Each structure stands twice: as C-alpha cells, then as structure tokens.
Amino acid sequence: MRRFLIVLVGATLLVGGRWPVAADPPAAPAARSWRVPYQFPAPRHVLVRMKLNGKGPFNFILDTGAPAVFISKAAGAEAGLVVDDKGWANIAELEVEGGIKLKDSRAVVEDPFQLTGMNRLNAMGRTLHGMIGYTLLARYRITYDFTDTHLTWTEIDWEPPALARMRPPGSKESAEMEAMAGFAKFATGLMGRRPDPVWQPRGFLGIELEERDGQVIVSRVQAGSPAADKLLPGDVLASADGSVVTGLAKLQEQAAKWKEGKTVTLIVRRGAERIEVDLVTGKGV
C-alpha cells in the first residue's frame, strides 16, 4: 500500500497552477473637506462666522479650551433657541461659513466673562457672539495656514463624548472665578474701546464647487439661489469675473471679496458648449 505525503508550503495551496490572489480591500470613502474663511484680528483669535437656525451671521472664535459651543444670550434669542434649566439649547441647524452644516447640535447659552470683556473693549473690532469649543472642533481635523485666507476642515469619523454641566446656570462661581470676572470688568472700564467697523456681508451665489483633474466643477446648485436655473452640476468653470479659473483655492479667495449685489460674469463649459451667465450675488454668511 502506497502512502502519500501532502506538504502545504506556507499554508498556501496552488489553485489551477496559480497562487491564489487576495481581493483588494474596499477603498475607504474619501473624507469630506471644506475650506472655511476666517479672520485673524489684532488679539490673534481665529474668528469664523456661523448661522444658527438660518439666523445670523454670527461671529465666533475658535477656542480649544472651551468644552463646548458657547452662544451669547443675545445671539441665542435672535436664533430662537430655547434654553433648558441646565443652560443647554438644541440647534436644529448650525452652519459654518464655507459649507459645513450640522443638524441637531447642542450648545451652552450664556455670557462668559471672557466674551463680555472682549465685547466691552471691542477688542476684535466687531461683536463676538460666542466660542466654538471642543464638542464641535473635535469632529474635524483642522489645518491652519496663516498665509492662506481659509482653514481646511476635514471630517473625521469620531463622535466626541457628550458633556454635562458641572454647575447649574445662575449658581455661584468659585471664589477664584468670581474674582477673575470682577477684575476683567474693572480692567475693561479703564481701557479704551475700539471703534466699530463697517459691516459688509459677503456675496452669495448658491453653488458648491470641487476641484477634479485640475478643473473647478459645480457639484451642487442650491434651489432659490442666484445660480438656480442658470448653472448645473457638472458645469466646468472657465472664467469668473474676468479672471481665468486656475484652481479652487484661488477662486474662493477671489469670491471672498464679492459683496452683496455685485454682478458676476461666469463662463462655464457644459459638454461641448461654452456658456456665459451673469449672476447677481445675494446676501451671504
């Protein structure tokens, strides 16, 4: 009786004369990114603008030391926020200028002494309406480049843990915090206040753009916007306001200077056609 010995080399069997090839793992979905315009006033706080439930725009500073989003009482009232007995309010839609939209967010509505002090001094040259803290910032990988006009916010697949207030609204601060708040109020009374700037909102066209293969392409057109019924998803921007479109970053820098009511001429390629459209900017964020 013959005996056979089957040897498995490296635990791999030949199949049909070939080594088996493992299938490539499915590609992870591309992370979404947004270019968020910011301002960098003299106190060197990064300032962005937001809408709350469609109201605004409001001025917020990015504060990694703040545990949550803090909204001033005046801004909360304007946005129609209902504050619970712990000082939290639900926000149906929170929109950061640049296209980031979050549904069903929560924020603290109060007037922290830091915010009150900067507003009394007009330190930022404009009214501050709140601080964007950990619960929102932790959702994104944010790239700061102070030679650029925009920050890059890239969505990450992580939900920061919910926060609970340690102190109910209206209750006493610690003695140290009370002293600090009192000193801040005293100091602001001795310092001069900066003049208010002239407010000029950015223009609004109602299109979302993406850069693909060296071309700037319309990815979405907002219903009811100046671009509605004039531009279509897939249109390739060739020229904007007399300038050749060479990239998304440059175009966004150019568009940030367009004010409300400006007529902007766009030349787009739609298939084999070359189309010229005039759009009048609406009131933006």
For 89-105, b where at least 16 C-beta lie within 10 A, e where not — what string? bebeebbbbbbbeeeeb
Q: Which amino acid type is present at position 155?
A: E
Determine the Cα–Cα distance for residues 140 and 33; give it in Å rounded to an integer. 9
Angle made by CA atoms 216, 220, 221, in degrees to the nearest 5: 110
Cα(41)–Cα(116) distance, integer angstroms: 17
Tens of pLDDT, residue by residue, the chain (285 residues): 455 444 444 444 444 445 455 566 666 567 889 989 998 887 789 999 999 999 989 999 999 889 999 999 999 999 999 999 989 999 999 999 988 999 999 999 999 888 888 888 887 888 999 999 999 999 999 999 888 889 999 999 888 877 655 455 555 555 544 544 454 454 445 445 555 555 455 677 888 888 888 899 998 888 888 888 899 999 999 999 898 998 888 888 888 788 888 899 999 999 999 999 999 988 654
Global pTM reads: 0.58
Spatial contact of 245 and 267, defined as CB atoms under 8 Å apart: no
Q: 232 and 223 in contact (C-beta within 8 Å)?
A: no
